[in-house]
């Protein structure tokens, strides 16, 4: 066995369990129980992607768990180094595939900081509208699949019904339902079309009552309560030392949210609350995300009502493409268009780390520019990748069924973890 495999399969048991294991090994009598190492995944419907867990079980109790990742590693960070700045956006969006607007936002804000370009107020509001809708989409997929893990099959259809409506809105504004490439460096690619505001208003009026319905189905459901309440809690201090952010941290009572703490893209203009939990157990994780959906609806409503007039993308022609109609009349516009499309923009040398609050926590994008038209390094600090480290401390000593529930409440997205 190679050193790699040996270490992969090594288990670390707490002293108490170690004692038990020694007893099992040394006991002269026929051991009545033994530890079982089980391969859980990579292809398993409850792992929410291609995640492999090496689980050591004592009966039904999880004694050790090791997440093994890398099955969907596609080298997006490497690919990004070979593309001009604005062509990176489509590949970066495919990392965390449920939070594509957030990936684009983290990357665009990093590049915008490097270029030092200002994003028009209207573009910032449009970004907020799309990001918060995306947060609802992400939470809906999480809620549907998590409820499925717990045996509530019908939740999946209810969640995907509302998700469909948001995807229709995305299709309206950008032509794509997923991976929309709507955010550009310096703004957004197009203003929202006619009819978008009405359709969005209709959706916003309906959505809170839909979330009420989810709550009615699940909040006091006997099975949900038994599966979630009090299972696998972890305190805020441990979570912080493990680098965990987002709803998982907030469920443990720490109201850390970058939208409030360090507002970007005009989040300071909106009035919203940060839902926090008290116990840090699976139920709080569930309840926090459910409550976040109401807050996202409130933010979108405010952004739509207060949507300022003005350009939807920066007027800096070195960064953004000129409007189509100018190409026929302006030589300068034609040159700018040609330069941007062929070579791309040159970005001043420097390094920037730019974080945003994604549905899963702090999503940071590190971009290093060497002065050319392609980034020299793009790195995503993906919240799922870091949060996954909390699996083991959460589920050690819990039942294997609780591990499934915890994994669902952890909400890892393997596309973001493996990149």
Interaction site with another protein (CB under 8 A): 2-5, 7-8, 69-70, 73, 75, 77-79, 81-82, 113-114, 116, 240-244, 256, 261-262, 350-353, 355, 362, 364, 366, 368, 376-377, 379, 381, 385-386, 388-389, 418-419
Nearest distance, CB of residue 302 and another protein, angstroms: 23
- Could you give the dihedral angle defined by the CA atoms of residues 359, 112, 352 and 258, in that order, rounded to the nearest 10 degrees? -30
Nearest distance, CB of residue 77 and another protein, angstroms: 7
Residue carrying the six token digits 């600090």: 381
C-alpha pair distances (Å), 140 with each of 3, 165, 378: 42, 12, 29
What is the distance between the alpha carbons of residues 320 and 58, in angstroms, rounded to a whole number? 60
Omega of the bond leading into 42 within 30 degrees of 0 (cis): yes
Cα 333 to chain center, whole Å?
Answer: 38
Q: With respect to another protein, which residue has the nearer C-beta, 261 or 341?
A: 261
Nearest distance, CB of residue 235 and another protein, angstroms: 14
Q: With respect to another protein, which residue has the nearer C-beta, 339 or 377?
A: 377
Nearest distance, CB of residue 418 and another protein, angstroms: 6
Nearest distance, CB of residue 114 and another protein, angstroms: 7
Task: Count CB-CB contacts under 10 A for residue 283.
Answer: 22
Q: With respect to another protein, which residue has the nearer C-beta, 144 or 375?
A: 375
What is the distance between the alpha carbons of residues 162 and 205, in angstroms, rounded to a whole number? 12
Q: With respect to another protein, which residue has the nearer C-beta, 388 or 398?
A: 388
What is the distance between the alpha carbons of residues 239 and 236, in angstroms, rounded to a whole number? 5
Q: With respect to another protein, which residue has the nearer C-beta, 166 or 242?
A: 242
Nearest distance, CB of residue 51 and another protein, angstroms: 13
Task: Tally helices (H) and strands (E) across the chain.
Answer: 18, 8
Cα 407 to chain center, whole Å?
Answer: 15
- Could you give the dihedral angle defined by the CA atoms of residues 382, 388, 394 and 400, in that order, rounded to the nearest 10 degrees? 140
Q: With respect to another protein, which residue has the nearer C-beta, 36 or 262?
A: 262
Q: With respect to another protein, which residue has the nearer C-beta, 262 or 335?
A: 262
Nearest distance, CB of residue 47 and another protein, angstroms: 17
């Amino acid at each position: 066995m190679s050193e790699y495999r040996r270490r992969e399969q090594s288990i670390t048991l707490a002293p108490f369990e170690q004692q038990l294991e020694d007893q099992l090994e040394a006991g002269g009598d026929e051991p009545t129980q033994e530890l079982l190492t089980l391969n859980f995944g990579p292809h398993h419907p409850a792992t929410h992607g291609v995640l492999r867990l090496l689980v050591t079980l004592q009966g039904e109790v999880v004694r050790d768990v090791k997440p093994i990742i890398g099955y969907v590693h596609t080298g997006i960070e490497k690919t990004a180094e070979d593309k001009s700045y604005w062509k990176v956006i489509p590949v970066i969006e495919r990392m965390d595939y449920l939070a594509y607007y957030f990936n684009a936002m983290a990357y665009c804000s990093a590049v915008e900081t490097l270029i030092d370009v200002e994003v028009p107020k209207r573009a910032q509001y449009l970004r907020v509208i799309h990001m918060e809708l995306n947060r609802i989409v992400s939470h809906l997929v999480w809620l549907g699949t998590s409820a499925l893990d717990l045996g509530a099959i019908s939740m999946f259809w209810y969640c995907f019904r509302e998700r469909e409506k948001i995807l229709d809105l995305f299709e309206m504004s950008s032509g794509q339902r997923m991976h929309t490439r709507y955010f550009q460096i310096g703004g957004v690619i197009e203003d929202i079309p006619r009819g978008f505001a009405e359709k969005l208003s209709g959706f916003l009026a309906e959505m809170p009552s839909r979330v009420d319905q989810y709550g009615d189905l699940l909040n006091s459901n006997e099975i949900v309560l038994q599966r979630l309440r009090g299972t696998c809690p972890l305190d805020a201090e441990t979570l912080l030392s493990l680098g965990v952010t987002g709803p998982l941290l907030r469920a443990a009572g720490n109201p850390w949210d970058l939208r409030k703490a360090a507002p970007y893209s005009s989040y300071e203009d909106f009035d919203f609350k940060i839902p926090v939990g008290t116990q840090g157990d699976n139920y709080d994780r569930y309840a926090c995300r459910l409550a976040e959906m109401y807050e996202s609806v409130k933010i979108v409503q405010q952004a739509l009502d207060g949507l300022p007039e003005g350009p939807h993308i920066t007027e800096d022609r070195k960064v953004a493409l000129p409007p189509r109609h100018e190409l026929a009349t302006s030589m300068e516009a034609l040159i700018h268009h040609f330069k941007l499309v062929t070579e791309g923009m040159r970005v001043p040398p420097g390094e920037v780390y730019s974080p945003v609050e994604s549905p899963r926590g702090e999503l940071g994008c590190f971009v290093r520019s060497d002065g050319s038209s392609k980034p020299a390094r793009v790195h995503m600090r993906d919240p799922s990748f870091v949060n996954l480290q909390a699996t083991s401390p959460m589920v050690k000593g819990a039942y294997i069924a609780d591990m499934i529930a915890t994994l669902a409440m952890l909400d890892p997205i393997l596309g973001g973890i493996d990149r």
